[in-house]
Chain A
Amino acid sequence: MSSQQNIEVETKTLPAGILLKPKGDIDLSRAPAFRTEIAKGIQKANGAVFIDLNDVPYMDSSGVATLVEALKTTSQSGNRLVLFGMQERVRSIFEIARLDTVFKITETLEQAQED
């Protein structure tokens, strides 16, 4: 099987929900671990899910697919999922896939927490 690398995802509980902060490139080698970590975070969430992408310099379509799945899961449970701190290169793939209007994307955590 092809190599699967771990990814560090920092988790922090907030009054409005949970904050997840992945670190590093998210490509096919890390997407399975990213998917697992995001699913764990969503399970813990008691409210909204805020994903901080400040420390993600690169993301491919497998990473985007994980976030689409996460968006569907949170929507089904009646919660919000917000992405913030997206770097230009990562934002670009959301625009190409026309997902920049599907997700709520903000610059900062403060903006992300606004309803």
Chain B
Amino acid sequence: MTSDNVPADIRIDLKSDTKHLASIRGLILSLTQTCGFDVVESGHIALAVDESLANIIRHGYQHRNDQPINISIWLLKDDQPGIKIVIEDEAMQIDPDDICGRDLDDIKPGGLGVHIIKDVMDECTFAKRECKGMRVTLLKHLKPKTLDCTENTKTPR
């Protein structure tokens, strides 16, 4: 799988089991901090990935634990450094316009995941994959003061 025909820097294939969530959070935290995101931003990116995976497991796969999920990660360079994360599944396709969080003024359990993802990421898009399943694309750019992960040994903070 490629993004703009560039192969991913990291690709993870996992099964839809919630026991993997903590490991993926740990990986994203470590990776984003290495890239130069601060602790808060790294936590937010890990939260967005966690919520995306939880949505797939809960709604897409109805808690089945043996279904495929693919995570591809690009460490963005050039003039807009940051991180791009694409998560794909093979669950039933739904209209991306139907994926929305609840009204925050309506205080009730549930419906927060999508709102949180959209709030913490610079970009978040849901799409139907070409053959089957759904794709969520998450994008977060480094703030100007933070470092490009490709040059963090060269550029003073």
Contacts and interface: CB of A to CB of B under 8 A. Distances in A.
B136 to A, nearest CB: 15
Contact of B21 (A1, A27, A65): A27
A68 interface: yes
Interface residues of A, number: 28
Contact of B116 (A25, A29, A61, A72): A61
A109 interface: no
Contacts of B113: 60-61
Contacts of B120: 96
Given A60-B50, A65-B109, A98-B104, A3 B116 contact: no
A28 B58 contact: yes
Contacts of B115: 96-97
B17 A93 contact: no
Nearest to B114: A61
Given A65-B110, A65-B112, A1 B65 contact: yes
Contacts of A25: 22
B25 A28 contact: no
Given A61-B51, A68-B107, A92-B43, A3 B112 contact: no
B129 interface: no
Interface of A: 1-5, 25, 27-29, 58, 60-62, 64-66, 68-69, 72, 88-89, 92-93, 96-99, 102
Given A29-B18, A66-B109, 10 more contacts: A4-B18, A27-B54, A60-B54, A60-B113, A61-B110, A64-B112, A92-B44, A96-B115, A98-B104, A99-B107
- Chain A to chain B: the 4 pairs with minimum beta-carbon distance, closest first: A29-B18, A65-B109, A61-B112, A3-B19
